[in-house]
Structure 1
Amino acid sequence: MKSFKIKSILLAGVLTLTTVLSACGSSSSDGGSSSDGKVTLSFLHWRGEDVKALDTIIDKFEADNPNIKVEMQTMPSDQYQSTAQAKLSDGSVGDVFASFPGSQFEALNKAGQFADLTGSDFLNNYNSDLIKAGAKDGKQLAVPYQLVYNIPIYNVKMLEKYNIKAPTNWDDFLAMCQTLKDNGVTPIAFAGADIGPGQFMNTMVMNNEPSEDIFTKVEAGDAKLTDEWWVKTLSQIKELNDKGYFQANALGTKDAAAGALFIQEKAAILASGSYQLAQNKAANPDLEQGLLAPITVGADQAKYEGVHTTTFMLAVNSKSKHQEEAKKFLAYLSQPDVATEYANATGQNVTVKDVSYSSDVMKVVESWTSKKTLFQPRFSIINADNQKAVTNSIQAVLGGSSPEDAAKEAQSIVDQNVSK
């Protein structure tokens, strides 16, 4: 689609009309404004699976706001983390955009990418405790929209078939995996090539770590990845792999392939999180799912039952030429009725108050709201290179490195960043 902008140029007393062709939308030279006064907002995020639901919501927003058009652009989450900042930098893309908590939020904040949302009326629609991840130095810079449980998904009927109860300690978790393997079922589908290490590490480390701020201490040089808690975590992940409890070539398996194993009921557990419940159910309507976190210690030593994250942090680009319109769109998404529509259409819990959950998928996670869960440990790692070093150490043990060597290599990268 193209839009045309007419410039009047007075030259040597002669009025000449020159037609200037410019790209439609937020990539236009005037930041998304057209000659008829309409504004086009660019909405940039990574949730491609939400596009259908968001298209419906955007249609209603545009009907209520006929002078504002919203164009969505999505990309895979791994690409989003590595390239979003560059795309957002000049304000031509992402008038409204999403951010991950942790290292991406910190990097975007340092770059001055967030418009200040402090004092906006729509913030009153949110559970104040659940949007703290989007606050910095007393300012609300982004609004976490989703409440996600980073807990492996399991096939309820399959565990019932083999009379397996949810394990409450490490020995029982291993026994469960062995029973599944003995019956020809892959115990855990693990996407070792992309999202698996970053997701599975959270529940694996939650009860091993000596304190919930341990990664903050690591980045400050006050603790090390070579300490017992991380070496133990790597050892347990290696144990699962060495005993054949992951599928063959877990290190080379990407997210879609791991998900397919679970959807086709060839694997009993999918090492991801609640954000994949809806797409699993859509692909296999007969699939009955639950959430099951590995407990890596004795039952009496377990501090947490699972892990949660407030993510999909919606923000307004400080470089946008249309911040007021962008805030109007964000305010619309923050309305309880709109958030309810989004939640039930996508299968995602949200941080907005007074939302009514009706879908079967949402009922899977309903009980977890009252359980003892920890904010995702991976997102407490602020430096992106350090975060990558930690997840790389998991890939290293899957590739054959000893836990001690993998931890040492990761710590060497952290040491370089601590000394900077």
Structure 2
Amino acid sequence: MKKIISMLSASVLLLTACGSGGGTSAASKDAAAKPAGGSDKTAQPAAQTPAPAAAPAASAEKKKLSLWYIETGKKKELIEAAVQKFMQSHADADVEVVQIPNDPYKTKLSVAMGGGTPPDVFHSWGGGWLKQFVSAGQVLDLTGKISADNYLPAALSASTFNSKIYGAPLGMGVVPFFYNKEIFAKYNLQPPQTYDDLLAIVDKLKKENIIPIAMANKTKWPAAFFLMYFAERLSGPEIFNEAFERTGRNFSDEGYVKAGEMIQDLVKRGAFNPGFNGLTYDTGQSRQLIYTGKAAMEMQTSSYINNVRNEAPEFESKVGIFPFPAINGGKGKITNVVGGVSPVFSVSAKSKYPDLAVELVKALTSVELAQKLADEASAISAVKGVNYKDPFAVQLNDMLSKAQFLQTYYDQTLPPELAELHKDTTQELFGLTMTPAEAAKQMEAKAKEVLKK
């Protein structure tokens, strides 16, 4: 199944209706882990909280499970608390929780899968990246094992292939601009409605010796958001689907070339901090520029608020949000968003205890945990039945609910080989080491190789 969740349509609008321990080894470990074999009236979904298991005999051996995930800060804390609660209600379970930083996670999981030593339960973003493991027979089919009615259809579709469910989604995200409200107020700046407005802000901040937009792009995915937004705002929401589905325009379309030109114009205009292609997002190098007042804006996923609360809670009151602006003459709307589904929890086909692993997935995607994440980490839920109270969560949910279109992350939707080229060429565009025409040409050539026509 190629088409993931590019068209938001009625399914994501359900957000409006739905939204407003035990063993000792569950302590989070480092990346070097040992893998194992709406309103108050909103109707709640059918409960899928697993029934407590009977306590085993004193001499019985524990059933060991491993969980790999990438969340940090408050999200990490809440997920680990959910695991502890799961072990308290499943006395036969011993869960090893392994938190791995986002950037190396894909490589580590791919190596574990290829080596036949995957974790029992693992994080993904759904889409093409999960599908590669599904196609290789490495992921357990969860159809009938979890209740599909408990999740937003748009979110669940990211892990549904050939009408079978291979992952349970916990969260959804959008990519807005985050900005320092104090800096904007000091220089009488307002959140931009058009791209020309944004350029005027960039020029004003440059004159005041403030970095307009912070970015850390060593791992290539942060800058890719700009390409996605430029392509959609210029050429309309269907450009990616047409190129991906091979049904019309392709990756060498003039819309993609123009998107690359606009990226390079921003770079030449001095919109970003020096050396951005060598800085690492996970370690907070770009965020430190925001916290210290050296930079005014950063475009990132909605988990940005979780980072702020974990790293610089005193800065939270200064944070504002605005969507990527519309481009005059373009076909995309300011309400259309780039976003995705994360985390999606799946079970390895090699799990020694698949039934228990499925119960853990249910616990990790429960309404209880989703509500806590919304309240304490501003998370947008993929689980039905969450009421939004946190101001940032309300704003982000409103942004997603009003969207007529959700462009899923290219690198999570495309097959891995093409996804990597997308990130490589985008990084080179930002580095001014490749022309927009060449980047588009390379993408289309690779697409012809790896995408079915």
Q: Compute the TM-score of the two structures, normalised by the length of structure 2.
A: 0.79
Aligned to 1:376: 408
Shift of 1:320: 0.7
Does residue 300 of structure 2 align to residue 275 of structure 1?
no
Does residue 93 of structure 2 align to residue 36 of structure 1?
no
Does residue 374 of structure 2 align to residue 343 of structure 1?
yes
Does residue 447 of structure 2 align to residue 414 of structure 1?
yes
Q: Which has the higher contact order (CA 8 A, sep 6+)?
A: 2
CA–CA distance in structure 2, aligned partners of residues 299 and 146 of structure 1: 34
* Equivalent AA in structure 1 for residue 373 of structure 2: Y
Superposed CA offset, 1:242-291 (max 9, x none): 00011112222221211211122221111222111121133332333233
Do the aligned partners of 1:241 and 1:398 also contact (CA within 8 Å) in 2? yes
Name the CA shift for 1:71/1:60 in 2 (closer, same or farther; >3 Å). same
Aligned to 2:265: 239
Superposed CA offset, 1:48-101 (max 9, x none): 443322222211111111111211112222322233133135664321111123
Do the aligned partners of 1:53 and 1:346 also contact (CA within 8 Å) in 2? no
SS at match of 2:350: coil
CA–CA distance in structure 1, aligned partners of residues 225 and 237 of structure 2: 19
Superposed CA offset, 1:302-340 (max 9, x none): 335222212211111111111110111112223212221
Q: Which residue among 156, 172, 185 is the counterpart of 1:147?
A: 172
Do the aligned partners of 2:172 and 2:380 also contact (CA within 8 Å) in 1? yes
Shift of 1:203: 2.4
Matches within 5 A, 1:3-402: 27=36, 36-49=60-73, 50-89=75-114, 92-194=117-219, 195-212=221-238, 214=240, 217-218=243-244, 220=246, 223-255=249-281, 256-284=284-312, 285-287=314-316, 288-295=318-325, 297-298=327-328, 301-305=331-335, 306-372=337-403, 373-379=405-411, 381-400=413-432, 401-402=434-435
* Equivalent AA in structure 2 for residue 200 of structure 1: F
SS at match of 2:234: coil
Shift of 1:216: 5.4
CA–CA distance in structure 2, aligned partners of residues 405 and 228 of structure 1: 12
Name the CA shift for 1:295/1:201 in 2 (closer, same or farther; >3 Å). same
Q: Compute the TM-score of the two structures, normalised by the length of structure 1.
A: 0.84
Do the aligned partners of 2:131 and 2:161 also contact (CA within 8 Å) in 1? no
Do the aligned partners of 2:173 and 2:380 also contact (CA within 8 Å) in 1? yes
User: Aligned-residue CA RMSD in angstroms?
Assistant: 2.9
Name the CA shift for 1:396/1:41 in 2 (closer, same or farther; >3 Å). same
Greater displacement, 272-281 / 237-246: 272-281
CA–CA distance in structure 2, aligned partners of residues 322 and 156 of structure 1: 50
CA–CA distance in structure 2, aligned partners of residues 369 and 399 of structure 1: 31
Superposed CA offset, 1:165-207 (max 9, x none): 2222221111111122222211101222223223333323222
Greater displacement, 314-323 / 119-128: 119-128
CA–CA distance in structure 1, aligned partners of residues 373 and 431 of structure 2: 40
CA–CA distance in structure 1, aligned partners of residues 400 and 442 of structure 2: 37
Do the aligned partners of 1:148 and 1:310 also contact (CA within 8 Å) in 2? yes
CA–CA distance in structure 1, aligned partners of residues 70 and 62 of structure 2: 26
Specify the structure having the higher radius of gyration (Cα): 1
Do the aligned partners of 1:215 and 1:380 also contact (CA within 8 Å) in 2? no
Name the CA shift for 1:42/1:304 in 2 (closer, same or farther; >3 Å). same
Greater displacement, 329-338 / 363-372: 363-372
Name the CA shift for 1:289/1:376 in 2 (closer, same or farther; >3 Å). farther
SS at match of 2:315: coil
Do the aligned partners of 1:150 and 1:202 also contact (CA within 8 Å) in 2? no
SS at match of 1:244: coil
Name the CA shift for 1:419/1:357 in 2 (closer, same or farther; >3 Å). closer
Do the aligned partners of 1:173 and 1:295 also contact (CA within 8 Å) in 2? yes
Percent identity of the aligned residues? 22
Give the gaps of 5 or more residues in structure 1. 4-23, 29-33
Do the aligned partners of 2:206 and 2:212 also contact (CA within 8 Å) in 1? yes
Shift of 1:397: 2.2
* Equivalent AA in structure 2 for residue 295 of structure 1: P
CA–CA distance in structure 2, aligned partners of residues 269 and 2 of structure 1: 42
CA–CA distance in structure 1, aligned partners of residues 334 and 349 of structure 2: 38
Greater displacement, 266-275 / 288-297: 288-297
